[in-house]
Amino acid sequence: MKPGKIQGMNHADKGDKFDVDLTVKDGRPEAFDALMIPGGLFNPDVLRVDQNALEFARHFFREHKPVAAICHGPQVLISADLVRGRKMTSWPAIQIDMRNAGARWLDEEVVVDNGLVSSRKPDDIPAFNRKMIEEFAEGRHTAAAAA
């Protein structure tokens, strides 16, 4: 959301720093073929109240491009009202928020629903990456959310 450096984290240890290439405000979603929303407690909590981030996410559903989200990442999709009727998983603590928002929540390491890939937690990352790459590479379509 802001230009500058971001700090990688590996559990409680600080990881490498990376340059921010582009903010969600300046980035044009048209320039991207797919969207991956990472987790963590902090980032989705901030992104989900940012209208630019929600509009950015909505583009991929509207244009039927593949989307992946893990851990607390699906909170962004709840706030953009994009989980209704979708088969998904997430960090288990937000399962009730997902269900209340209309998702069909499954307790599986990775759930794929028409180009929408979701996983629960860091342990699921290998399965998540495998399915995400598969969906992104094959350009499978993310169906538009129910109105």
Stretch that binds a copy of itself, among 9-17, 29-37, 39-47, 126-134 (CB under 8 A): 39-47
Judge whether 71 counts as a catalytic residue.
Answer: yes
48 near a copy of itself, rule: CB under 8 A: yes
Kindly write down the DSSP assignment for every residue of 82-112, as one continuous string: --TT-EE---GGGHHHHHHTT-EE--SS-EE
**CB 44, min distance to a copy of itself, A:** 8
Closest among 71, 87, 79, 10 to 38, alpha carbons compared: 71
Stretch that binds a copy of itself, among 27-35, 57-65, 92-100, 117-125 (CB under 8 A): 92-100
Residue 138 in tokens: 């094959």
- Buried-state track 102-135, b at ≥16 Cβ within 10 A, e below 16: ebebbeeebbbbebbbbbbbeebeeebbebbeeb
Closest CB to a copy of itself among residues 99, 130? 99
Distance CA 13, CA 31 (A): 34
Out of 17, 42, 51, 126, the residue judged to bind a copy of itself by CB under 8 A? 42
Question: Total residues contacting a copy of itself (rule CB under 8 A)?
Answer: 17
Out of 6, 20, 49, 133, the residue judged to bind a copy of itself by CB under 8 A? 49
Residue 26 in tokens: 């300046």
Interaction site with a copy of itself (CB under 8 A) = 41-42, 45-46, 48-49, 75, 78-79, 91-94, 96-97, 100-101
